Structure 1
Amino acid sequence: MGTTDANGVDLSGATGRLIQTVDLEKNPAPQAIATDTVHGHVFVLQVESSATSAQGNLWLNRINRRTGAITGSMQLKGFGHGLSMGAEPVGADTYLWTEVGPLQLSADNDAFGKAVTRFRFVDGAVLDGAAIPQSRKFTPPDSTSSTGPSLDPVNGLLCVMYHKDGKRHFTRYDSAAAAAGQWTPVGTTFVMPAGEDVTPGVPSPHPLQKTLVSQGFTALGDVLYSYQWAPYDTADKFPGVAFLTSYDWNTGQRIDRQVVTGADGLTRREPEGVTTEVDPATGETRLLFGFSNTVPDTTGSRDVTIGFYPTRPAVDGVKVLADWEDLALEPGVSPGADRPRGRLIALAGTTYLQLRGTVACSPGLTADSRIGTLPHRLRATRTTRQNVPRNNNTGRCVCRLETDVTGALRVYGATGDNAITWIDLDGVSVAWR
């Protein structure tokens, strides 16, 4: 059992899905994530491969939050590693807060930015960190190494992480004032307590490395969230175990720490990026977390999956993680009297994919066929199946419905002498994870 914090987040609770296995522009793994809910964007940073580009170069992806389609990108030269990021809607534009050079190389030869900057997203642009005026860069006082910003969209505060005296420090600033070049701390600075990077003793199929790797942070109100990873202590360190930890900003005490079980089933599943947003459809505040994955049938290409912790309370024991949404149907498949839709709910500790409506197939399915595609919010990371009613032909009145990580909705059981002409989805309520 977990603890529900002041924001309504329970790190042991059910999780939903924002986007599922979206292929990114370049090969390296994603890093920081952020969303602009006003304009419907998801932003994902990637580190460019040092084999083909200079150290510290980043690739910024812009993704449509409804469809998962890449809608734009930028190259950021000499920015760092992409520790964290904030996205800020301004009029018709989006401004990003990120780290930026001067760069510092780690013992593993990774490059990290030592300053913070803000810039407007321009599709196709190449931005050189060395060309950004010093007046548009901020280095936290007495910072000794890497830094990074994260934006609180509810309170308009920019949380900046930096290193000082061998510890991680977090200081908040008014984001509007910071954008104007006025960096006056708001409230107290949070200092990460000693020992918080020691890997907890948790069940694991392989031994875990003893020191946790920081994979991002974000702050919402007076709660700081830290995303960490314990790789396997083996030649193949993936997927390891991911952790999210919450802290009380005012007392410095840990509120909760939980293993992140969302998005299980991915091939690589490396935790990457954490942020907060306000759902544009419901006004719900949500904590988002990302995972990197290897694109199937490739060795170096990466995709990104982003899940979330909801904060809306359950109604009659049911927590809606994604409300009813139309399914995209294949050619030759049309809606019946009640159009086909799906949703995601959590009930009694289990998450269910529910479908409703009917579909008509013309001239009829005579072989195993794909009939549609689930929205990103409904796609499972493991194969999910259930038997459903179909037209009765010589006593055969049931077919099997199946979906997987791609969101493809497939029907099995049709034959040349026993075509499926309609399918009823009203009874579908299957464990999603």
Structure 2
Amino acid sequence: MAYTDTNGIDLSGPTGRLIQTVDLVKNPAPQAIATDTVNGHVFVLQVESSATAPAGNMYLNRIDRRTGVRTGAMQLKGFGHGLAMGVEPVGADSYVWTEVGPLHVTGGGTTFGKAITRFRFADGEVLDGATIPAERKFTAPGSTSGTGPSTDPVHGLLTVMYHKGGDRHFTRYATAGAATGDWTPAGPTFVVPDGEDVTPAVPSPYPLEPKLTFQGFASLGDVLYVYQWAPYDKGEDPTVPSEFPGITFLTSYSWTTGLRLDRQVVTGADGLTRREPEGLAVEVDPATRETRLLFGFSNTTPGSEFARDVTIGWYPTKPAVDGIQVLSDWEDLALEAGVTPGAERPRGRLIAIAGTAYLQMRGTLTCSPGLTADSRVATLPHRLRPTRPVRQNVPRNNYYGRCVCRIEADVHGALWAYGATGDNAVTWIDLDGVSVAWR
């Protein structure tokens, strides 16, 4: 059942895309996400493999939010696992909030930072957590193990997650005050109620593990969002596939009442090869000023066994207008060599109608001297790329009654045209009628 919270977010509603299948500086999966919309960056934390480095080392990736190109990275030694992160712009700089050592090692060998710190992103630098002065580290009172921060850029708040007395706690602080060492709580502490980590009974092709795994959190106004994962319980059953590892949940709670508001299965980006939830964040879109809840997924990089990439989607907060919710406005397609715009340049957008997202296109592709085989004709921007192939028949130049070809977009944004042959060249393609269900 649909529920829209005070931020305007419906966890069962349509979602958009920020970046898709972006490669990271090292092989391991992403862990936490955050953005600096003022300077145009996406930041992604990933744990360095303990097989090749000491436990607790991480890499921090910086990615251009428009192109998906990685623009920098830092190595963070002795920081932890990357439970969550926050970023705040200060002029042209990005200041990053993460966990940091001293380290806590679980019985299973996973290493987490027990303190919170803040530092300026500096491309190429190696930052050793042991060299950060004690006055630049904060441990929540009573915290016993791993911790993590997340920023609310709308209300200027920093939320710190920590464990105390066997329960998961969340406390908010003024971000500006915390940056100067003032850790006065801004309101009550939220304690996750007992039983909230029990896997819900939901339809699943395979048995699920009985306990949910914590994958991140974010706070916006009076609502706390918690990201959780129910992996498939493989047990001794060899038929359970590893490439589809489980079901993802998003749960919202009220800071005021301490009660759960909603819990939904996350359906966005469902076509990724190995779809594992990694990280939540809040941002304000620099173009539309819309506040958005971001959610991340890792995925196996094609052609590799262990390398992971990152995909980030988002929930809108603005309501539909006349029944239409614009998830990404008109944006030009990048054309391949030999393909040029016709009377109207080729563009695409993403909209939602009655809860279903649609990829729409307009414009004309002109192909010179003409396509004589199935060919890639353009690349979609990250905001429009589907995680399952989408296709539609479209008009083309008429040749002896053959006047239709098929276009298809894949997970990497490649737009292909199918149907051309050596004796039946495609010289133009009309995209004006494209409106296809997208996910």
TM (norm. structure 2) is 0.98
Match of 1:150 in 2: 150
Match of 1:357 in 2: 363
Q: Say yes or no: does 1:186 pair with 2:204.
A: no
Deviation per residue, 1:259-302 (Å, 9 max, x gap) = 00000011110000001100111010000000011001100100
Aligned residue identity for 1:91: G
Q: Distance in 2 between matches of 1:92 and 1:322?
A: 26
Where do 1:349-428 residues align within 5 Å? Answer: 349-428=355-434
Aligned residue identity for 1:77: K
Q: What secondary structure does 2:261 align onto?
A: strand
In angstroms, what is the RMSD of aligned CA positions?
Answer: 0.8
Q: Of 306, 329, 334, which residue of structure 1 is paired with 2:335?
A: 329
Aligned residue identity for 2:9: V
TM-superposed CA distance for 1:393, in Å, is 1.1
Q: What secondary structure does 1:201 align onto?
A: coil
Deviation per residue, 1:295-340 (Å, 9 max, x gap) = 0110010000000000111011111111100000001100111110
Deviation per residue, 1:75-100 (Å, 9 max, x gap) = 00000000000010001100000000
Q: Distance in 1 between matches of 2:12 and 2:245?
A: 19
Q: Distance in 1 between matches of 2:106 and 2:59?
A: 20
Q: Distance in 2 between matches of 1:229 and 1:108?
A: 18
Q: What secondary structure does 1:9 align onto?
A: coil
Match of 2:252 in 1: 246
CA contact (8 A) 1:33 1:85 kept: yes
Aligned residue identity for 1:324: W
Where do 1:10-89 residues align within 5 Å? Answer: 10-89=10-89
Aligned residue identity for 2:140: P
Q: Say yes or no: does 1:168 pair with 2:186.
A: no
Q: What secondary structure does 2:130 align onto?
A: helix
Q: Distance in 1 between matches of 2:172 and 2:284?
A: 19
Q: Distance in 1 between matches of 2:364 and 2:18?
A: 26
TM-superposed CA distance for 1:2, in Å, is 2.1
Q: Say yes or no: does 1:229 pair with 2:235.
A: no
% same residue: 75
Q: Distance in 1 between matches of 2:424 and 2:284?
A: 49
Q: What secondary structure does 1:251 align onto?
A: coil
Q: Say yes or no: does 1:290 pair with 2:315.
A: no
TM (norm. structure 1) is 0.99
Q: What secondary structure does 1:177 align onto?
A: helix
Deviation per residue, 1:334-359 (Å, 9 max, x gap) = 01111100001111222110000011
Which consecutive residues of structure 1, in runs of 5 or more, have no partner in the other structure?
A: none
Q: Of 332, 342, 345, which residue of structure 2 is paired with 1:339?
A: 345
Of stretches 113-122 and 363-372 in structure 1, the one that deviates more from structure 2 is 363-372
Q: Say yes or no: does 1:280 pair with 2:286.
A: yes
Q: Of 291, 297, 300, which residue of structure 1 is paired with 2:306?
A: 300
Deviation per residue, 1:358-404 (Å, 9 max, x gap) = 11111111111110000001000111110000111111111110111
Match of 2:238 in 1: none
Which consecutive residues of structure 2, in runs of 5 or more, have no partner in the other structure?
A: 236-240
Q: Distance in 2 between matches of 1:265 and 1:234?
A: 21
Q: Distance in 2 between matches of 1:15 and 1:44?
A: 20
Aligned residue identity for 2:390: T
